[in-house]
Amino acid sequence: MIVMKFGGTSVGSKERFEQVFRLISQAKDESGPPLVVVSAMSGVTNALIEAADLAVRRNLDGALAQIEMVRQKHIDAVQGLLSKDKAQALLSDLSLHLSELDSVLRGINYLGELSKRSIDAVSAMGELLSSSVLAEYARERGLKTKWVDARKVVQTDDTFGKANPQWQEIEARAKSEILPAIKDGSIVITQGFIGSTAEGITTTLGRGGSDYSASILGVACDAQRIEIWTDVDGMMTADPRIVPAAQLITDVSFQEASELAYFGAKVLHPLTIKPAVEKNITVKVLNTMRPDSRGTSIQAVVKEPAAYAKNDLAKSICAIASKKGISALFISSPRMLMAHGFLAKVFSVFDKHRTPIDLIATSEVSISLTVDNIENLDLIRQDLAELGEIEVMSDTAIVTVVGRQFRERSGIAGEVFTALKDINILVISGGASDINISFLVHAVDADRAVKQLHAHFFGS
C-alpha cells in the first residue's frame, strides 16, 4: 500500500482537487487503493491561527472575517466540483465545523485567553474541511472512498502545538480503522497535521506537520512507499524561491534529507524521515502539477555516484539550506578560566527550560549558541546571567551546506568562506558533522549567502 500526502497548494483550488483526484485514481489502478493524507487548503491554517490571535486581542470582527474567508474558499471549491445537491449537502456539513469554530473563537474572545490547546482546536479545522471536500468529490466521481478522522487514529501525548505520536496505539488503530477499508478496495482519505490525546482532545503535530502524519501512518500501516506531493519537482539543491537555478536532487540518503529538512528545507517536515528510516520505507517527493517529473527518492542507502570522487569538491556538496527566525546567545565567563563544569552548567539551563540548541561554538570561557524556540528565552537568560555575561541577538539565520564525507576532504571550508567573503559570519560550526557545515549570519544576509554558495558550487 502507498501513502500519498498532498500539501496545501496541491489542494489549493478546484483545479488542484481535480488533479489530486486524477493522481489517486491512477495510483489505485496501478498499485491498489492508497491511503491519502491531505493538508488544509493553502493559506487556511495561517488564516485560522490569525483568527485565534485576533480573537484573543479582542478583535472578534477581524477573527470572524478570517473565518468568512476560509468559508468562501471552500464554497468556491465545492461549487466548482460537485453537483448542486451534493454541494449543498457538503456545505451544510462544513458549516457544522465552521460554527464550532465560531463558538471556540467567541470563547477565546470572551475570556481573553488563548492556550496552545485552543490554538490546536482552531487550526485543526483546515484539514477536516479540505479532506471532506476531497472525499466527497472522489465519491461523486465514482471512487470507493472512506473518510477517516485522523484523530481517531493518530493518538498523541498532550504537548499541544507539537504533539508526539503514541506509536503502539496508532498501529493498533491503523489496523482497525484504515487497513480493513483498504483491503476492501476503498481509498482512505484522512487529514495530516492533526491527532488527539487519549482523552480525545485535539492536538497538532506542529506547522508543516502533514508530512510527519504521512510518515507516521505509513509506518503504522507498513506502507510500501510514502509519497509527498507538493508544489516543486522534489528536493532541490536550494529553495527554488531563493535560487531559481536550483537543481533537482533525484536520489538522496535519509541522512542528507534529514539534515536538509532540519536546517530549513521546508519541502519536508524534519521529523518525516526518521520513522521511515527505521522501517526502511522509501519516501518520494513529487510535484502534483508535474507528476511525470522524476521527483526525489529518499532511501537508506544511496550508492555514491562516480561523480562523488574524493576532492571533487563541488560534487561532494548536496544542497544549501537556510533557516530564519534564529536567536543567538553569546555567553562569556572569564571567571571560569581553568575551571571545570562551565559547559555542563550552561547546558543544564537549556535542559531545564526544555529548549534544544542548534549551533554551538565554544572556547574555554565563552560559548556562542543558537536556538529557534524562544518561548523560554527570558527564563534562560535569567539563569545564564548567574554564570557570566550574556548577549542575545535575534534576527539571525543559520545557513547550512549539506554534503558527504566532509571530514575526509580538504578545502571545503576554504571554498565556503571564499564564496561568502563579503558576508559577516557570526558563528561557525564545522566538524561537528561529517555531512554539514553550518554558520550563523544576520537574517538580512541569509538569502544572499545561499545564492552565493549555490552559484559557487553549482553555477548560476
Interacting residues with ligand ADP between 60 and 79 (CB under 6 A) = none
Contact flags string 150-189 toward Mg ion, x per CB under 5 A: ----------------------------------------
Helix (H, G, I), strand (E, B) or coil at 210: helix
Strands 251-253 and 35-38: unpaired
Residue 230 CB, shortest distance to ligand ADP, in Å, is 3
Query: Does the protein bind ligand ADP through residue 7 (CB under 6 A)?
Result: yes
209 binds, among ligand ADP, ligand ASP, Mg ion, none (CB under 5 to 8 A by kind): ligand ASP
Chain residues binding ligand ASP by CB under 6 A are 7-8, 39-40, 45, 126, 192-193, 207-210
8 binds ligand ADP (CB under 6 A): yes
Nearest-angstrom CA–CA distance, 17 and 8: 11
CB-based contacts of 344: which residues, under 8 Å, 6+ apart? none
Residue 263 DSSP SS3:
coil
Shortest Å distance, C-beta 231 to Mg ion: 9
Nearer to ligand ADP, 217 or 235 (CB): 235
**Of residues 406, 396, 404, 403, the one with CA closest to residue 453:** 403
Q: Note whether 72 and 95 are within 8 A (CB).
A: no
* Interface segment toward ligand ADP; rule CB under 6 A; list 44-52, 229-237, 414-422, 443-451: 229-237
Please state the length of the chain: 460
By beta-carbon proximity to ligand ADP, the closer residue of 2 and 82 is 2
Based on its alpha-carbon atoms, the radius of gyration of the chain, rounded to whole angstroms, reads 24
What would the grid cell of residue 460 be?
A: 548560476
Which one of ligand ASP, ligand ADP, Mg ion, none interacts with residue 34, CB within 5 to 8 A by kind? none
With CB under 5 A as the contact rule, which of the stretches 153-161, 201-209, 313-321, 427-435 interacts with Mg ion? Answer: 201-209
Dist. CA 127–CA 132, nearest whole Å: 8
Taking CB within 5 to 8 Å according to partner kind, which of ligand ADP, ligand ASP, Mg ion, none is near residue 239?
ligand ADP
Look up residue 270 and give its three cell numbers.
524534519
- C-beta neighbour count of 84 within 10 angstroms: 8
> How far is residue 133's CA from residue 14's CA, in Å, rounded to a whole number?
10
Q: Among Mg ion, ligand ASP, ligand ADP, none, what binds residue 9 when CB lies within 5 to 8 Å by partner kind?
A: ligand ADP
How, if at all, do strands 225-230 and 282-287 pair? parallel
Question: From the list ligand ASP, Mg ion, ligand ADP, none, which binds 423 (C-beta under 5 to 8 Å, kind-based)?
Answer: none
Query: Is the CB of 209 or the CB of 295 nearer to ligand ASP?
Result: 209
Question: Which one of 18-26, 71-79, 232-240, 351-359 is the stretch in contact with ligand ADP (CB under 6 A)?
Answer: 232-240
In angstroms, how far is the first alpha carbon of the chain from the final one? 40
Binding residue for Mg ion (CB under 5 A) from 33, 34, 208, 295? 208
Interface pick for ligand ADP out of 208, 295, 388, 403 (rule CB under 6 A): 208
- C-beta neighbour count of 168 within 10 angstroms: 10
And the C-alpha cell for 341?
563544569
Q: What cell does 166 get?
A: 503514541
Q: Report CA dihedral (100, 105, 109, 111) to the nearest 10 degrees.
A: 60
Candidate segments 55-63, 204-212, 256-264, 281-289, binder of Mg ion by CB under 5 A: 204-212
Interface residues with ligand ADP (CB under 6 A)? 7-10, 39, 208, 230-232, 235-236, 238-241, 260, 265-267, 319
